[in-house]
Amino acid sequence: MIIEDFVVDSNIKIAENTFLIGLNSQINLDNLQPGQFFNIQVSNNHFPLLRRPFSISDIIDDKIYFMYKIVGEGTSILSHKKKGEKINLLGPLGNNFNVSNFENILLLGGGIGIAPFPFFSKKLVNKNFKVLFGVRTKNEAHNYGLKNVLFSSEDGSIGKKGTVIDLLDEELKNLDFEKTKIYACGPNAMFRALQKYLINKNIECEVSMESAMACGFGICQGCPVEHNHSESYKLICKDGPIFNIREIVI
Amino acid sequence: MIIEDFVVDSNIKIAENTFLIGLNSQINLDNLQPGQFFNIQVSNNHFPLLRRPFSISDIIDDKIYFMYKIVGEGTSILSHKKKGEKINLLGPLGNNFNVSNFENILLLGGGIGIAPFPFFSKKLVNKNFKVLFGVRTKNEAHNYGLKNVLFSSEDGSIGKKGTVIDLLDEELKNLDFEKTKIYACGPNAMFRALQKYLINKNIECEVSMESAMACGFGICQGCPVEHNHSESYKLICKDGPIFNIREIVI
Amino acid sequence: MSEIDLSVNVGPLKLKNPIMLASGTVGYGNEISEFIDLSKIGAIITKSISLKSRKGNPPQRITETPSGMLNAIGLTNVGIEEFIKNKIPFLEKLNSTLICNIAASSIDEYVECVEILDTQETIKGFEINVSCPNVREGGLIFGNDINAVGKITSKVRAKTKKPLIIKLSPNTSNIFSFAEVVKKEGGDAVSAINTLVGTSFNIFTKIPKIKNVTGGLSGPAIKPVALAKVLEINRNVDIPIIGIGGIMDWKDVVEFMIVGASAVQLGTVNFINPKASFEIIDGLINYCKQTSINKISDLISSRIIE
Amino acid sequence: MSEIDLSVNVGPLKLKNPIMLASGTVGYGNEISEFIDLSKIGAIITKSISLKSRKGNPPQRITETPSGMLNAIGLTNVGIEEFIKNKIPFLEKLNSTLICNIAASSIDEYVECVEILDTQETIKGFEINVSCPNVREGGLIFGNDINAVGKITSKVRAKTKKPLIIKLSPNTSNIFSFAEVVKKEGGDAVSAINTLVGTSFNIFTKIPKIKNVTGGLSGPAIKPVALAKVLEINRNVDIPIIGIGGIMDWKDVVEFMIVGASAVQLGTVNFINPKASFEIIDGLINYCKQTSINKISDLISSRIIE
Ligand SMILES: Cc1cc2nc3c(=O)[nH]c(=O)nc-3n(C[C@H](O)[C@H](O)[C@H](O)COP(=O)(O)OP(=O)(O)OC[C@H]3O[C@@H](n4cnc5c(N)ncnc54)[C@H](O)[C@@H]3O)c2cc1C
Ligand SMILES: Cc1cc2nc3c(=O)[nH]c(=O)nc-3n(C[C@H](O)[C@H](O)[C@H](O)COP(=O)(O)OP(=O)(O)OC[C@H]3O[C@@H](n4cnc5c(N)ncnc54)[C@H](O)[C@@H]3O)c2cc1C
Ligand SMILES: Cc1cc2nc3c(=O)[nH]c(=O)nc-3n(C[C@H](O)[C@H](O)[C@H](O)COP(=O)(O)O)c2cc1C
Ligand SMILES: Cc1cc2nc3c(=O)[nH]c(=O)nc-3n(C[C@H](O)[C@H](O)[C@H](O)COP(=O)(O)O)c2cc1C
Ligand code: FES
Ligand code: FES
């Protein structure tokens, strides 16, 4: 874990309300794992007060990328950062996606939940994987850093009309459940649907959970999640953000 | 009084910690008077919360200029504004310097108190005036928009060694008190010294007072000054900021 | 212009919309009327008036704090006589709904003020300030003394039939008990909150930034506290509440109404954006349209707590 | 490294410097020890410990507010047994000055906890949390009941000779009376303040942002209130005070000490900058040099009020 100022190298819009910020890294990026995140201080005064967590979206040479959607004050401030400005990162934080030996890998991204998958895809080069990217409408769609992408959209403006679960359902028709693993990232509503969908289907599935966070490294107890294997809550920032979908109460 | 976004045209450093910001004006600047000020919102989130008051420093064509010194969060944020950014102005506020028919006019600026004098000087073109500019050290000195400047510095690094009152004393030796008027702007400590210095000298003197301000236009009662001609306090933002030095309690 | 019904009732007080301008943050209306049409605002509350004029506290009176400000104005005001002579006629001309806020140093002074002002037709209601943190008498002494608040309410009630609002102090552990007493003694509504007691010192000179040493904290910093106080009252006492504290935009107004406020007051924001009340009314109309609400009063206490 | 004497005494408690890490904002030290050397900090206060482990409140537990945050963690903790077995040895190894914060649901539970923990040599003192706003029992019920605070103090005092600090609630109109009782019943110091009660609602779903509905407000927003509480205690009661509330940098520490704090605690800032305590210590050294202070304890109560 480090706390360090990073210098903005680029900050571009890649889809509606969606940006990709690239930072020159002072630290060695070799050991970073897909699914990990950094807690980012978006301004150097205390407004907003808390850091904002963002998954590692990509790493190219000595640059680290975060993909983010403007949803409030913090992400809006981030979107105004210009090349040369500094922002402070705390991390890397959290656990990572578990790459096991499955024949088929499906990466499920709901909205900005797609963020960790460019980096993750790179670790899957030799594997048979597809990215299922669910959006509301085609303006939100992009394929930055992604290969083998299938889209679903709520309004049918791109890919399959429906949710990313509908798309998943279609894909799974041709796959052997036991040889397939799903990695999902998106809003809780999507996870709830996914959890329900997977009942009675023998498919492994890891999800990257979101939560309001203060610290991001386990000292505030602000990010609990109910977990089947534990009497006490697990912490999303420290025990997660990646969990087996069957072990958590969403 | 207007509340309006102005677009930054330039923002340059003119001396140590001292900047000049130029804004393209949407409003007619013809009626603005030297000594008036605007209350400026330095950021469009609420940090800092309150506006910051700045005197009109200069007007060139359709551009208005403010000269400011970095003393805290607000002025620091202001110094980072770039061409094209917007800042919100409320004003014009306050009364103005009274230009009367005196033979000799002395403009006394202590530190950033020099700010209103470039604009004021322009209204004095046909008059016999001198600017006495007191600084701590020569790094603070500049002559932006000023003519006939004499300096004093505490460390003697530029002009007369001493305070601006010492410089004034020297200048007044050759002048007829009754035909001379002083306009002063600076910190309260300078006004207290000036008030004391002028006792028993029959010289007219107007000062531009500073105060912490919330509203700047008379609704918060946050900027009182004790006034000899009034039982209640006067408001610096509305009844001032310009007062006859003999009528106020500093 | 809009089909949304913005009107609300605060007990017997009928307002064209829930936006009021808070006492002490708009003087007597003259300056702010350069920016907004006061007849379009729910109501304007005067700076606290007392029997005799008050000079107020010496400078420095205000200072900024993180997302807030401290003030110790000290209830500067022109006194009742001057108020009636010069301030009321102006506000009358502007067609604004006028609520008169009263501060006093004794229970009798409150009563006397209300008696004198009750004949003024332009005054549509009274807000009794028992909660100013910045004066020795009539401030927190009353505000934190539940018997005093009860007595003031009942005695003032006896002198006026106009809507009677008591403005409560947040500097207490059980604000709802105060609201209870107000209701029992015949008050029509409570407003909550006045400022929180705070202070700030210069670390080099070691002197307080505010001459009065302590001041009242207002602005966005106090919004969560204000909301909790409104919620506490609303959960425990059946009395209309006017929500105050840190409102900057229409979203904050909606939040206060959801939590339990029948109307709100804007304070500090007037200093930063004197047009805020107008922008907020527009924002509320949009919000109602967007969420298919026809009557804004439907928002009041519409919180959902599982 | 520096000739400045940073040590302070909080009653019988001797600290190498006035910087303590506040309860609930550094867990049991393990995570933050990756960023700072805990042996260099004045003291670390544990997350509130209770007799049995507590699961705490369901999510969502925190939300941000202007210059602050609300939390309703609900005193999640591992319980005394696990604390003694696994947490104390770690802190002992790090050579940190350990203060144990205790929360309980009854007076007897407080007493029992202290009795059990008193034998632990690593524990250098107790901080009794009678002021958590987020649990039904042992929270504000005690914190706002002056008799309960008196009783807790005297009964706990009887069980330990170690420094005894009572952590006071700010959600009261007369915090100094509580400090008075603490002194009378043998407490060594008070810490002030715990969080202010606040809330926040989502204006579209109309549900509270925090599952517990209300939470505790911390961060820079509350600093002026915290300073005023410290000042109120210091003006009225002769007892050492640990100042807490909204400290972000060394300037804030100096402000608290000038106003009357013998030491301070850092809370929310640890989440944003876990190295803050170190940077603050450096800042204090510089300030002392710059203002020619040799002993930082000279700052305590050095305010100048005309
Ligand atoms: C481990 C982790 C990784 C994340 N990775 C990414 C990423 O790669 N790209 C990305 O765009 N976002 C990511 N997020 C979400 C991101 O942190 C939030 O969108 C961001 O904090 C919002 O900040 P804001 O100030 O713009 O919005 P705010 O003004 O704080 O909030 C705006 C809205 O977003 C909601 N919100 C705030 N924080 C969260 C949160 N943590 N989770 C869910 N909803 C929230 C609020 O309730 C509110 O409705 C991640 C979150 C976590 C916990
Ligand atoms: C009518 C008027 C005209 C002014 N004109 C100019 C100008 O042309 N150029 C310029 O640089 N400054 C001017 N000032 C002062 C300027 O408003 C303050 O320097 C500014 O508000 C400081 O903001 P900040 O956030 O940077 O500092 P803060 O962090 O708010 O304060 C930093 C320090 O400055 C002090 N301070 C803050 N506000 C004031 C104030 N209003 N008066 C005196 N001390 C203050 C604080 O006590 C503190 O010590 C004027 C002030 C007034 C009232
Ligand atoms: C400068 C100032 C002066 C105030 N004067 C009064 C007053 O005279 N009477 C009163 O009842 N409240 C007074 N208040 C309190 C406000 O009416 C309001 O209750 C408080 O500021 C909280 O609201 P806000 O956060 O929106 O400002 C004053 C507040 C400020 C900031
Ligand atoms: C997430 C969180 C958890 C807290 N838990 C505790 C606790 O268990 N016991 C306690 O006495 N105080 C607890 N506090 C209060 C802090 O110790 C401190 O009094 C308060 O946060 C004010 O300081 P700050 O503004 O620096 O954060 C907690 C505060 C926060 C923000
Ligand atoms: S965010 Fe602080 S413990 Fe997880
Ligand atoms: S600054 Fe508000 S009245 Fe002068």
The residue among D81, D113, D248 whose CA lies nearest residue D130 is D113
CB C184 within 8 A of CB C236: no
CB neighbour burial string for A174-207, b if at least 16 within 10 angstroms, e if fewer: eeeeeebbbbbbbeeebbebbbebbeeeebbbbb
Q: Judge whether residue C141 has pLDDT over 80.
A: no
Q: Which ranges of D145-219 would DSSP assign to H, the alpha helix?
A: 146-157, 175-184
Q: Judge whether residue D133 has pLDDT over 70.
A: no
Residue with tokens 């279609």: A170
Q: Judge whether residue D67 has pLDDT over 80.
A: yes
Q: Judge whether residue C143 has pLDDT over 90.
A: no
Is the Cβ pair A219, D62 closer than 8 Å?
no
Is the Cβ pair D274, A41 closer than 8 Å?
no
Torsion-angle region of D51 (φ positive above 0: left; ψ -120 to 50: alpha; else: beta): alpha
User: Predicted confidence band at D137 (pLDDT cuts at 50, 70, 90)?
Assistant: low
User: Which of D55, D272, D275 is the best substitution to test chain A (most A C-beta atoms within 10 A)?
Assistant: D272
pLDDT score recorded for residue B73: 93
Query: In the structure, which protein residues have their CB atom closer than 6 angstroms to any atom of ligand 2?
Result: B 37, 48, 52-55, 57, 66-69, 71-75, 112, 115, 210-213, 241; C 64
Does the CB atom of residue D24 touch ligand 4 within 6 A? yes
Q: Report how far ligand 2's centroid is from the alpha carbon of B65 (Å).
A: 16
Q: Judge whether residue A26 has pLDDT over 90.
A: no
Q: Which atom of ligand 4 is nearest to the CA of D71?
A: 1
From chain C, pick out residues whose CB is under 8 angstroms from the CB of B48.
Answer: 64
Q: B47 CA to chain A: closest CA distance, Å?
A: 6
User: Which of D35, D60, D61, D279 is the best substitution to test chain A (most A C-beta atoms within 10 A)?
Assistant: D61
Q: A3 CA to chain D: closest CA distance, Å?
A: 8
Tell me the residue length of chain C. Answer: 306
Average pLDDT over every residue of C119-140: 80
Q: D33 CA to chain A: closest CA distance, Å?
A: 11
Q: Judge whether residue D214 has pLDDT over 60.
A: yes
Q: Could you tell me which chains touch chain C, where touching means 3 or more CB pairs under 8 A?
A: B, D
Dist. CA C188–CA C163, nearest whole Å: 6
> Residue C152 burial by CB count (10 A; 0-12/13-18/19+): exposed, middle or buried?
buried
Query: In the structure, which protein residues have their CB atom closer than 6 angstroms to any atom of ligand 5?
Result: A 213-216, 218-223, 235, 237
CB C214 within 8 A of CB C72: yes
β C189-192/B128-135 pair status: unpaired
Determine the residue of chain A that is closest to D27 in CA distance.
A219
Condensed to tens digits (0 to 9), the pLDDT of residues D227-282 reads 999 999 999 999 999 999 999 999 999 999 999 999 999 999 999 999 999 999 99
Dist. CA A207–CA C21, nearest whole Å: 49
The share of chain D scoring above pLDDT 70, in percent, equals 96
Q: A216 CA to chain D: closest CA distance, Å?
A: 8
Q: Judge whether residue C132 has pLDDT over 90.
A: no
From chain D, pick out residues whose CB is under 8 angstroms from the CB of C68.
Answer: 67, 221, 224
pLDDT score recorded for residue C134: 62
CB B188 within 8 A of CB B210: yes
pLDDT score recorded for residue C136: 58
Rg (chain A; Cα; Å) = 18
Q: Judge whether residue D140 has pLDDT over 80.
A: no
Q: Could you tell me which chains touch chain D, where touching means 3 or more CB pairs under 8 A?
A: A, C
Rg (chain D; Cα; Å) = 18
Average pLDDT over every residue of B15-33: 95
User: Predicted confidence band at C144 (pLDDT cuts at 50, 70, 90)?
Assistant: confident
Condensed to tens digits (0 to 9), the pLDDT of residues B92-109 reads 999 999 988 899 999 999
Q: Report how far ligand 4's centroid is from the alpha carbon of D226 (Å).
A: 13
Average pLDDT over every residue of C75-94: 92
Dist. CA C182–CA B44, nearest whole Å: 40
Q: Which ranges of chain B would DSSP assign to H, the alpha helix?
A: 73-79, 117-122, 164-172, 188-198
CB C204 within 8 A of CB C264: no
Dist. CA C140–CA C168, nearest whole Å: 10
| Chain mean position to CA C283 | 21
* Helix/strand number for chain B, H first, E second: 4, 17
Is the Cβ pair D200, C172 closer than 8 Å?
no
Give A75's Cβ-side CA count (13 Å radius). Answer: 15
Q: Judge whether residue C138 has pLDDT over 60.
A: no
Q: Please identify every residue of D annotated as catalytic.
A: 132
pLDDT score recorded for residue A45: 83
pLDDT score recorded for residue B126: 86
Return mean pLDDT, chain A. Answer: 95
User: Predicted confidence band at D136 (pLDDT cuts at 50, 70, 90)?
Assistant: low
Is the Cβ pair A3, D27 closer than 8 Å?
no
What ipTM describes this predicted complex? 0.96
pLDDT score recorded for residue D75: 87
* C68 in contact with chain B, both atoms CB, cutoff 8 A: yes
Condensed to tens digits (0 to 9), the pLDDT of residues D70-104 reads 999 998 999 999 999 999 999 999 889 999 999 99
Condensed to tens digits (0 to 9), the pLDDT of residues D19-34 reads 999 999 999 999 999 9
Average pLDDT over every residue of B111-123: 96
CB B90 within 8 A of CB B217: yes
pLDDT score recorded for residue B125: 87
User: Predicted confidence band at A101 (pLDDT cuts at 50, 70, 90)?
Assistant: confident
User: Predicted confidence band at B26 (pLDDT cuts at 50, 70, 90)?
Assistant: confident
Condensed to tens digits (0 to 9), the pLDDT of residues A168-210 reads 999 999 899 999 999 999 999 999 999 999 999 999 999 999 9
The share of chain C scoring above pLDDT 90, in percent, equals 89
Q: Report how far ligand 2's centroid is from the alpha carbon of B132 (Å).
A: 21
Return mean pLDDT, chain B. Answer: 95
Q: Judge whether residue D121 has pLDDT over 90.
A: yes
CB B40 within 8 A of CB B101: no
Residues 6+ apart with CB under 8 A from B60: B22
From chain C, pick out residues whose CB is under 8 angstroms from the CB of B216.
Answer: 271
Average pLDDT over every residue of C249-277: 98
Average pLDDT over every residue of D98-124: 95
β C196-199/C214-218 pair status: antiparallel
From chain C, pick out residues whose CB is under 8 angstroms from the CB of B214.
Answer: 62, 69, 71, 268, 271
Q: A150 CA to chain D: closest CA distance, Å?
A: 32
Residues 6+ apart with CB under 8 A from B77: A45, B42, B43, B48
Q: Judge whether residue C14 has pLDDT over 60.
A: yes
Residue nearest to atom 28 of ligand 3 (CA): C24
pLDDT score recorded for residue D242: 98
Which amino acid, A75? T
From chain D, pick out residues whose CB is under 8 angstroms from the CB of C227.
Answer: 198-201
Condensed to tens digits (0 to 9), the pLDDT of residues C148-163 reads 999 999 999 999 999 9
Q: Judge whether residue A72 has pLDDT over 60.
A: yes
Does the CB atom of residue D215 touch ligand 4 within 6 A? no
The share of chain D scoring above pLDDT 90, in percent, equals 90
Residues linked to residue B132 through DSSP beta bridges, in sequence order: B108, B150
β A149-153/A224-227 pair status: unpaired
The residue among D203, D200, D257 whose CA lies nearest residue D61 is D200
* B77 in contact with chain C, both atoms CB, cutoff 8 A: no
Q: Judge whether residue C255 has pLDDT over 90.
A: yes
pLDDT score recorded for residue A8: 97
* C201 in contact with chain D, both atoms CB, cutoff 8 A: yes
CB B12 within 8 A of CB B57: no
Least confident piece of the model among A86-95, A96-105, B12-21, D228-237: A96-105
User: Predicted confidence band at B51 (pLDDT cuts at 50, 70, 90)?
Assistant: very high
Average pLDDT over every residue of A154-170: 96
User: Predicted confidence band at D2 (pLDDT cuts at 50, 70, 90)?
Assistant: low
Q: Judge whether residue C2 has pLDDT over 60.
A: no
* B49 in contact with chain C, both atoms CB, cutoff 8 A: yes
pLDDT score recorded for residue D143: 74
Average pLDDT over every residue of C285-306: 96
Measured CA distances, C157 to C150, C190, D62 (Å): 10, 14, 43
